[in-house]
Structure 1
């Protein structure tokens, strides 16, 4: 695409965003321009009321996988061209949408959390080629799917509650996409390094074709040229601002997916695409007292970046003799010794940093989850009385460690991790983690 084409499409996307925003915020406009399903502009959205309505009638449209199947069938029947925006297999996309619906349902009484999450989601969805006006087509398809699932029990009240919920999330997504128009929707990058640790784990180094700015501890989605429109998130494993290259740790989790394409079929010189950086697993102000980092397997990538960030802050303080007493403890868990990787780097890093203590953890006790062993090590000797704990790894591990810390008396606000798949109202178990498919 030429620079002129890129400018044109950016202006077109901005126009679409402005037009849809006016429609979303105007009273009296339904999905097809009919009956209003949103309160007047400026009026508060009573998400808790819609939450009660939807949950009261949830059995009419559940299970979500069937509702979503009808939704996409209606969407592609009305707009066949939209099918090209999605991967060949819709399974992951349908599960992703189900989690988004559950997240909305669980947090309708906490609108600020929805705004924060869906603003980022709108920014991220630009890499898929989604234009703001296409959200209206999605809304119409949702209404059709609700009618099919609810059948004779369908009601205007139920549909309006669903549409208001969807529009609340979409409004945040449109604003997030519009605010990010000055940055690329995604970054092309060339693979410059590939190191295998066994048959199922690769450390990839890539060089973006344009500057890619992120914070230590964040993650980004990758797309392989072998699987267009299919993206999976992986942590960035280096401190920002180095030589311009990025490092990703990829564990192969199954056949035919993005992780297999990256681990087994990606070579130096190949091209990948990178989505915008995301995540809240970052350092705040100058760390004081004790900082605890807890990782499982490729969650180490996030901790590697954070350790480099801490080192960059601590080293000048040592040189100027202004360093305050500070300790960092890294708890690094794997299921079996054979899965330990990048050990040479970590050993050398720890040896020259007196402020760092590494606690390796392998597996768990008989009849228990391996994550239980990691949780025991984290709280061994009593819970931390000061400082923060940052946790990265599969959702089941994050839940186990977080629960152990809170049960031991650590305030929940001092335990940080990236958002997890919905827990209470989850569609199906999914413990594959941020760095996995």
Structure 2
């Protein structure tokens, strides 16, 4: 819009001589606004320091005096509006957790390079930790990094952090870490993030990561010091049966029974791949004799899984880590149950169904077991045998690549599950590959199943 006066005189106002020029309006005077100073900078925390500053730096908050003196738009317009409530100030814990989540999202695409750098820094700071890793350090280092970032991202939710500590400490102890090594772990993690954090990494972000690690590592370090049970148990392979070129069933008898619940998994180390731990889920509910049954599929690029399928033999000695995982039935729920399993993910589902059969009043349960071909459904016969004995259990098989098989449903697991009915009032348990879990969970959420009704154990590689 031009600042020049209107030409042509403008509209005629009644009662005023058109020949007289209109009085000029008084110039509007604006109240001066104080400049907003930049937020104070918290002193830089060196990566070797284990403590975090008491107050986390905040994102460019305006000065309180300037905000009070500046006129609001409603005052300038002459309106009388009720004052807006002051925004809630972010706690230091919430700030740290948020920064960790945001920064991790930026670097996760380069997690392998970050894990290698993390391992190199860790070995230079604590040379004794090199013996805990195999020759190829990328994969175990990646798992260790993620096991540290996960609790750091929840330091603003104490209840969730408390639930994470126990299973993570079990994994760290099984790896061979002790309480005194958490500080070099933190230094190596922050150093690796500093290198790969890119433009998202600055002093404020570094402060947030140091604070989050301090808050997360404290409970884990205390739990390691307080642990009374052995970190690992030895066991002997007493049976190895190869079902196909990429699938095998292995039975292991531990020297001492490993306490676990149906649906949980154990981390194992095998002689063919020393210092390379893998998570395997027992296919049976806990047995009085302690015998463990594992169903193993050789996956592409899987060093341990291929060795287990092709080379595991009777008499091999395994190391078994403590049980972990949250897959299981909510004891406080009375809802019916839906279990969806893909491939060898049927093993923990079978264990859960066997455990339910031992209870006096099991809830109605529907199981969808899926695979590419019928041979992938390793636990189908045992699940159907249970269903014949117990009226509360219904079992449906799904084969994606064999739509003409009369014993199975066609299509993918998510498609078959959605065709099966309305599951919005059920507790849903998912077990299988990360791809299958993501696809099924997304389909169920879109179909109206509440998020807090869906549970699974994500195996992050």
CA-to-aligned-CA distance 1:87-137 (integer Å, 9 cap, x gap)? 211121233245346535754543432332233201221111111111112
Match of 1:284 in 2: 330
From 350, 371, 375, give the equivalent of 1:334: 371
Contact 2:115/2:138 (8 A) holds in 1: no
Cα drift, residue 245 of structure 1: 0.5
Cα drift, residue 199 of structure 1: 1.5
From 131, 136, 139, give the equivalent of 1:92: 139
In structure 2, the CA distance between the partners of 1:292 and 1:136, relative to structure 1 (3 Å rule), is same
Task: Give distance in 1, aligned partners of 2:267 and 2:103.
Answer: 35
Structure having greater relative contact order (Cα 8 Å, sep ≥ 6): 1
CA-to-aligned-CA distance 1:403-432 (integer Å, 9 cap, x gap)? 2222222222222212464xxxxxxxx7xx
1:290-369 mapped onto 2 (5 Å cutoff): 290-314=336-360, 326-363=363-400
Task: State which drifts further: 333-342 or 121-130.
Answer: 333-342
Cα drift, residue 57 of structure 1: 6.8
Matched, 1:133 2:187: no
Q: Report the number of matched residues.
A: 378
Cα drift, residue 310 of structure 1: 1.0
Cα drift, residue 172 of structure 1: 2.9
CA-to-aligned-CA distance 1:330-385 (integer Å, 9 cap, x gap)? 1000012232324443343332223221100011799xxx9972122223253135
Matched, 1:120 2:159: no
In structure 2, the CA distance between the partners of 1:338 and 1:134, relative to structure 1 (3 Å rule), is same
What secondary structure is seen at the aligned counterpart in 2 of 1:409?
Answer: coil
Query: Which structure dedicates a bigger proportion of its chain to helix?
Result: 1
Match of 1:157 in 2: 204
In structure 2, the CA distance between the partners of 1:147 and 1:31, relative to structure 1 (3 Å rule), is closer
Normalising by structure 2, we get a TM-score of: 0.72
Contact 1:61/1:150 (8 A) holds in 2: no
Matched, 1:237 2:280: no
In structure 2, the CA distance between the partners of 1:79 and 1:197, relative to structure 1 (3 Å rule), is same
Contact 2:271/2:318 (8 A) holds in 1: yes
Cα drift, residue 173 of structure 1: 1.9
In structure 2, the CA distance between the partners of 1:289 and 1:60, relative to structure 1 (3 Å rule), is closer
What secondary structure is seen at the aligned counterpart in 1 of 2:139?
Answer: helix
What secondary structure is seen at the aligned counterpart in 1 of 2:329?
Answer: coil
Task: Give distance in 1, aligned partners of 2:449 and 2:101.
Answer: 33
Greater C-alpha Rg = 2
Cα drift, residue 298 of structure 1: 0.5
Task: Give distance in 2, aligned partners of 1:154 and 1:390.
Answer: 38
In structure 2, the CA distance between the partners of 1:406 and 1:158, relative to structure 1 (3 Å rule), is closer
Normalising by structure 1, we get a TM-score of: 0.76
1:10-409 mapped onto 2 (5 Å cutoff): 32=48, 36-39=51-54, 46-53=92-99, 63-100=110-147, 103=150, 107=154, 109-146=156-193, 148=195, 156-179=203-226, 181-254=227-300, 257-285=303-331, 288=334, 290-314=336-360, 326-363=363-400, 373-384=412-423, 386-409=425-448
Contact 1:122/1:172 (8 A) holds in 2: no
What secondary structure is seen at the aligned counterpart in 2 of 1:49?
Answer: helix
Contact 1:402/1:415 (8 A) holds in 2: yes
Contact 2:372/2:400 (8 A) holds in 1: yes
Task: Give distance in 1, aligned partners of 2:101 and 2:393.
Answer: 48
